Amino acid sequence: MFCFTIVFFSCVHEVNAQEPVAKNGKFVTVKGLKIYYEESGAGMTLLILHNFFSSATQYHPLITEFSKYFRVIAIDLPGHGRSDYMDTTDLYLHKKAAEYIIGALDILRIDSIYVLGASSGGTIALHLATLRPKLIRKMVVIGGHVYYPVEQRQWLSSYGPATGILARLGNSEGLKMHGKTKFPLLEKQFWNFRILYGDPSFTPDVLATITAKTLIIHGDNDKAAPLINALEMHKSIPNASLWIVPYGGHLPHFTPVNLPDFFRRTLEFLNGNWDEK
Model confidence over 21-71: pLDDT tens digits? Answer: 999 999 999 999 999 999 999 999 999 999 998 999 999 999 999 999 999
d(CA 148, CA 247) in angstroms, rounded, equals 21
d(CA 153, CA 156) in angstroms, rounded, equals 5
Q: Is residue 13 situated within a structural domain? A: no
Q: Is residue 147 situated within a structural domain? A: yes
Q: Is residue 16 situated within a structural domain? A: no
- Do the strands 33-40 and 71-75 form a parallel or antiparallel pair, or are they unpaired? antiparallel
Q: Is residue 5 situated within a structural domain? A: no
User: Percent of the chain beyond pLDDT 90?
Assistant: 69
Q: Is residue 15 situated within a structural domain? A: no
**Residue 235 is part of which domain span?**
25-267
What's the domain count of the chain?
Answer: 1
HSE-CB at 5 with a 13 A cutoff on CA atoms is: 10
Q: Is residue 6 situated within a structural domain? A: no
Q: Is residue 239 situated within a structural domain? A: yes
We report the CATH number of the domain holding residue 228 as: 3.40.50.1820
d(CA 2, CA 19) in angstroms, rounded, equals 19
Considering just the CA atoms, what is the radius of gyration of the chain in Å? Answer: 17
Q: Is residue 7 situated within a structural domain? A: no
d(CA 106, CA 240) in angstroms, rounded, equals 26
219 three-class SS:
strand
Task: Answer for the pair 160, 191: CB distance below 8 angstroms, yes or no.
Answer: yes
Give Dmax over CA atoms of the chain in angstroms: 52
The pTM score is: 0.90
Model confidence over 198-219: pLDDT tens digits? Answer: 999 999 999 999 999 999 999 9
